[in-house]
Amino acid sequence: MRSVGVEEELLLVDAESGEPQALSTAVLAMAERHGEGDSAFESELHRQQLEFATRPQTDMDELAEEIIRLRAEAAGHAADLGAAVVALATSPLPVDPSIGTGERYQWLERQFGLTAQEQLTCGCHVHVSVDSDEEGVAVLDRVRPWLSVLLALSANSPFWQGQDSTYSSYRSRVWGRWPSAGPVDVFGTAGHYHEQVQALLDTGVLRDEGMIYFDARLSHRYPTVEIRVADVCLDASVTVLLATLVRGLVETAAREWRTGRPPAGFGTALLRMAAWQASRSGLEDRLLHPLTMRPEPAGAVARALLAHVREALEESGDLRAAENAVTSLLTEGNGARAQRDLMRRTGSLRATVAECVRRTRG
């Protein structure tokens, strides 16, 4: 069975006000003091962020336990500093982000200016093991139309600088400002993939392969494909659903490749349109169906994704849990709906953040 690993980026906020706090260095020092310095926790571009990575897992229950544990550990370290962590993909409250002091981060600020300065966004990246680069690129070519559905399911960033953005995932709109971000064309072979990556690096615009910000890419560190399209999810259960669906997509795509089924021929322009629609409406309106690129209700499109990966989920034993989780998500809503509901009930972005802090810990 393919292994799965998850990276989550969390916001560090003041425990009382909910305002983002530039405490990543102090939180990492606290983790090291508690014997977790080799670990799971890392800094990110902005000092108001903290990232963690799970170990590769094959059992989704074990993955869920690790995500919950790491969220709790991060919360505990932040609490020692009078802060909290919250799984929101953008800050609902106004913030003046501060870029980390590392040499790489400083280079990004010099090279990209306001684009880098405004990138206080938190995503969720899912790694799934593949047997080779050839298999990995075959997977990348075949999952392209389905990535916008993952974005809609995970959408968790309706607010930006104290205002309702009118998007469900405004993070994805901000993230798309990077020159290498977004959907890409079909590569065909691993050789062509690596040629295209090298061509981007040869421009001198990007610092290194870590800046290949495709929605889905071959990891440059692990033998995995890395699906990078999602917002960080408010509830850990949605993160687990996301990981389950991504593994199902990878396995389904690999089987299609082995049987000679070609990837869908949709161009990048259509995929950008599908991503825009997903970021705008989340699960509240229509999405572009990955098989037709025509608008259909979000619920129908989410169930089409389940149908597409059904065989893979049955074989991994994840089908019933995934079906229940999708039904729950369509009924109760994703993080974007939860945040807007909280704001309507309380009339306060601070109260919204406070409740999201609680939900982050489960």
pLDDT band at 170 (very low <50, low <70, confident <90, very high): very high
Residue 314 placed within a domain: yes
CATH number of the domain enclosing 325 = 3.30.590.20
pTM above 0.75, yes or no: yes
The predicted pLDDT at position 53 comes to 96
Residue 50 domain flag: yes
Domain enclosing residue 32, as ranges:
4-356
Flag whether 320 is in a domain.
yes
pLDDT confidence of 31, banded at 50, 70, 90?
Answer: confident
**Per-residue confidence (pLDDT) for residue 32, from 0 to 100:** 86
Domain count, the chain: 1
**In the predicted structure, residue 33 carries a pLDDT above the cut 90:** no
**Residue 232: inside a domain:** yes
Residue 37 lies in a domain: yes
Q: What is the mean pLDDT of residues 17-23?
A: 96
- 361 within a domain of the structure (yes/no): no
Side chain identity, residue 155: A
Tell me how far the alpha carbon of residue 358 is from its chain's centroid: 20
Helix (H, G, I), strand (E, B) or coil at 13: strand
Q: Is residue 301 part of a domain?
A: yes
Residues 6+ apart with CB under 8 A from 165: 157, 158, 159, 173
State the Rg of the chain over Cα.
19
The pLDDT-based confidence of 37 (bands split at 50, 70, 90) is: very low
Q: Is 362 within the bounds of a domain? A: no
Question: Residue 177: its pLDDT value, please?
Answer: 97
Q: What is the mean pLDDT of residues 46-50?
A: 96
Over residues 152-170, mean pLDDT: 98
Q: Supply the pLDDT for residue 36.
A: 53
The mean per-residue pLDDT over the stretch 287-307 comes to 98
Tokens of 327: 């039904």
pLDDT tens-place string over residues 106-152: 999 999 999 999 999 999 999 999 999 999 999 999 999 999 999 99
What is the spatial distance between Cα 44 and Cα 24, in angstroms, rounded to a whole number?
8
- pLDDT for residue 121: 98
User: Is pLDDT of 276 > 50?
Assistant: yes
Backbone angles phi, psi at 33, to 5 degrees: -60, -30
Mean pLDDT in residue range 203-212: 96
- pLDDT at residue 208 greater than cutoff 90: yes
In the structure, what pLDDT confidence band is assigned to residue 237 with cuts at 50, 70 and 90? very high
